[in-house]
Amino acid sequence: MQQNTLTEYPGNLYVVAAPSGAGKSSLVKALMEVDAGVKASISHTTRAPRGQEVDGREYFFVDNATFDTMVANQDFLEWAQVHGNRYGTSRQAVEQRLSEGGDVLLEIDYQGALQIKQIFPHAVLVFVLPPSWEELRSRLQRRGEDSAETIEQRLVNAEQEMAQAAKFDFVIINELFERALFDLKSIVHAQRLKYAAQSRSRATVFSALHII
């Protein structure tokens, strides 16, 4: 099987980070509806589930002791403390899919994203910005999932998070949703073409370009 020259795995790895409420979950969900080739990894978290969240769908919800054990066993590719809870990316699930040639998308915070870039230098890091502070606040409020206190904490954290945007490969502004989705789709498509272009096989390149 053809191997990505920048890694031992043939699949592409994308990381999407953003301050809470910027719209990254909405964008990632919409991307996966139109691109079956990309699968989002399901993280483990010590956070309590929100209203409609289901264990094993949005997250694997675990207690602190379980998370500690997973850290000790090196079950996470990366993990971080975010907004007072811990979140981690399963090493086994991601490496298995990448090794099978599937693309993986991680929707994680900037600390995790920068850890991933150390391990997988070829990973494509995308940072999603809201159009303004007012809109960020109002999206968190309109979502109606978090207490006023949680929203304030997330807005305070957003300042520090947004200062990291320049370390990412791409920055998207999520003002008009369809425009931001187009930008994300283009980044994913361009990475696939770059990978295909590394192949010596012309058929592989043309297939990625949908020419044949």
**Helix and strand tally (H, E) in the chain?**
8, 9
- Partner interacting with residue 167 (select from ligand LQESDW3C, ligand ATP, none; CB below 5-8 Å by kind): none
Q: Which residues are annotated as a binding site?
A: 18-25
Residue 82 touches ligand LQESDW3C, criterion: CB under 6 A? yes
Residue from 39, 47, 185, 192 in contact with ligand LQESDW3C (CB under 6 A) = 47
Residue 45 touches ligand ATP, criterion: CB under 6 A? no
Residue 113 touches ligand ATP, criterion: CB under 6 A? no
Residue 142 touches ligand ATP, criterion: CB under 6 A? yes
Rounded to whole angstroms, how far apart are CA atoms 90 and 79?
A: 9
Q: How many CB atoms lie within 10 A of CB 186?
A: 12
Residue 185 touches ligand ATP, criterion: CB under 6 A? no
Residue 73, classified by CB atoms within 10 Å of its CB into exposed (0-12), middle (13-18) or buried (19+), is exposed
CB of 7 to ligand LQESDW3C, least distance (A): 20
Residue 24 touches ligand ATP, criterion: CB under 6 A? yes
Residue with tokens 């890694």: 7
DSSP 113: H
Instruction: Looking at residues 84 to 143 of the shown chain, list those that interact with ligand LQESDW3C (rule: CB under 6 A).
Output: 87-89, 107-109, 111-112
DSSP 41: P
Q: Which is nearer to ligand LQESDW3C, 83 or 91 (CB)?
A: 83
Stretch that binds ligand LQESDW3C, among 4-12, 82-90, 169-177, 191-199 (CB under 6 A): 82-90
Residue from 6, 55, 85, 177 in contact with ligand ATP (CB under 6 A) = 177
Residue 21 touches ligand ATP, criterion: CB under 6 A? yes
Please enumerate in sequence order all residues whose Cβ is within 8 A of that of 205, keeping only pairs 6 or more positions apart, or say none.
193, 196, 197, 199
Q: Which residues are annotated as a binding site for ATP?
A: 18-25
- Reduced 3-state DSSP string for 130-147: CCCHHHHHHHHHHHCCCC
What's at 133, amino acid-wise? W
